[in-house]
Amino acid sequence: MISEHFEGKFEVELKYRLKSKSQFLTILKSMTHEVMLQDNLESDCYFDTAEQHLLSENKSLCIREMEPSGIKLWIVKGPEADRCEATNITDANKAKSMLKTMGYHIVLAMKKTRSIYFVGKFHITVDNLDGVGDFAEFAIMTDDDSLLDGYRSELIILANKFGLGSTDIEHRSYRKIYSESLKI
């Protein structure tokens, strides 16, 4: 069941800034849902070249470590907005070393606290970026890009059930939000 939620090379994802995380979770508890994990600490290391080639091509490369779940992922996003692929890895330090050998270096390291829930075929993550705020991501992955628009509409309807609308949407990536918060 869990792996089905994260299979595919395309991801429709809508991110919302939460005004009240507790209110959001109260609404979630009133719905049929499954818990994948709660309050995991995610450490994300974003890699790029010194010239930021990946960023200039609207791509990102991330090694993610999650505790206490022990999940470790290699994640590549872009260049299209809905393009996202991730694979489990067993040795994050070895993966980081390999990337450094290939000429990449860490351009941003960030941490967030994440809980993941399943509501039907969709997954919802509830995230806290320390010092930045609380967010909810409504998402689904697929290999069929012809389903993306339909899924996007279904996700908007689901988010509306939580009282979230177009004024709550956050279009920036966590990488961009976190980077901008460091400049303030």
Q: Is a pLDDT exceeding 60 seen at residue 1?
A: no
- Greater confidence (26 vs 175) lies with 26
Convert the pLDDT of each residue in 106-134 to its tens digit: 999 999 999 999 999 999 999 999 889 99
Domains in the chain: boundaries: 2-183
Q: Is a pLDDT exceeding 60 seen at residue 139?
A: yes
Convert the pLDDT of each residue in 79-114 to its tens digit: 998 899 999 999 999 999 999 999 999 999 999 999
Q: Is a pLDDT exceeding 80 seen at residue 4?
A: no
Residues with a catalytic annotation lie at 46
* % of the chain surpassing 90 pLDDT: 84
Considering only CA atoms, which of 16, 39, 95, 101 is closest in space to residue 62?
95
Q: For 105-132, give the DSSP string.
A: EEEEEEEEEEEEEEETTEEEEEEEETTT
Give whole-number Cα distances, 10 to 29, 82, 105, 150, in Å: 28, 5, 26, 13
The pLDDT-based confidence of 8 (bands split at 50, 70, 90) is confident
Length of the chain, in residues:
184
Beta-carbon count within 10 A of 23 CB: 12
CATH pick for 2-183 out of 3.40.50.1100, 1.20.1090.10, 3.30.310.50, 2.40.320.10: 2.40.320.10
Adjacency order of strands within the sheet including 72-77: 10-17, 133-142, 122-129, 105-119, 34-48, 60-67, 72-77, 84-88
pTM of the shown model? 0.87
